[in-house]
Amino acid sequence: MENFYMLDNLPSMIFIVDETGKCKYFNKAWIEYTGKELTEEIGTGFMKQIHPDDLDKCLKYFNEQTLKKIAFEMNFRLINKENQYHMIKSVCTPLFYNNKYMGYIGSCIDVQNILDAETKNKQFFEAIQQNPASIVITDVNGNIEYVNPRFTEVTGYSKEEILGKNPRLLKSGLHDKAFYENLWNTINSGKTWRGNFHNKKKNGEIYIEDASISPIFLDEKIKYFVAIKLDITESVKKEELLKQRNIELEKINKLTIDRELKMIELKKEIKQLKEKLEQIRKND
């Protein structure tokens, strides 16, 4: 086994198991990762670093595969020198010398960061999928590459109908050319455009969206645009209804005030008339 000590210079964690299944060697990368002494790991000592929930199934799988004397992969959680369990991916390959089975060599890497990144990506994707706003991603030419479920719910278009199409499909005809020129000039300059759309659903119904459209940069170049749009049709209708009611109330209030003023003026005239009549009677 002395010849395998050259593996100390490899960045991957390496272990060697002899034909009896006992670990005879761990390279420098393994020792640095676990923070243990080589004497602590040799034999079965390394098992103390494997997560208790993974140990039995890991050993069972390892023994099953080594009996077949074929290469295999396995994942397990290993505690590091910071006392944290990280997921390890191990690739194990059988060793032969003059056709005689000599054991296994395993190469291990810490994949926890990859798993964490995958988890974050999944969480981010789910957040987009379940977002109450319509989210649309297009290429630089405006061709749609992604829409979330809310978009299909609002517009009536299925994902299959809309992918590859241009958002102009939603145009209502209520915005002029200058409106869209301003939008494209803004986002192509690397800025975020914000405003309201009067768009048209698949069934022809007009709806209003409060939208923001931003460029997505890759390698310092605009590669995509992302639009986040909230259907505000009902709130706009309620706002318009409230404005109309306020106008009507103002009219009613004005009529009421005018009537009150006229009543006051009339009472004043009546009072003045009574005073004149009283003065006439006194003079007679």
Name the pLDDT band for 2 (thresholds 50, 70, 90). low
**Do 110 and 205 contact (CB within 8 A), yes or no?**
no
pLDDT > 70: what percent of the chain? 98
Own/partner contacts of 171-177, CB < 8 Å, gap of 24 or more, are 171/199, 171/200, 172/198, 172/199, 172/200, 172/206, 173/200, 174/198, 174/206
What is the pairing mode between strands 221-231 and 134-139?
Answer: antiparallel
Considering the entire predicted model, what is its pTM?
Answer: 0.59
Q: What is the pLDDT of residue 146?
A: 95
Give me the mean pLDDT over the 235-248 stretch.
Answer: 80
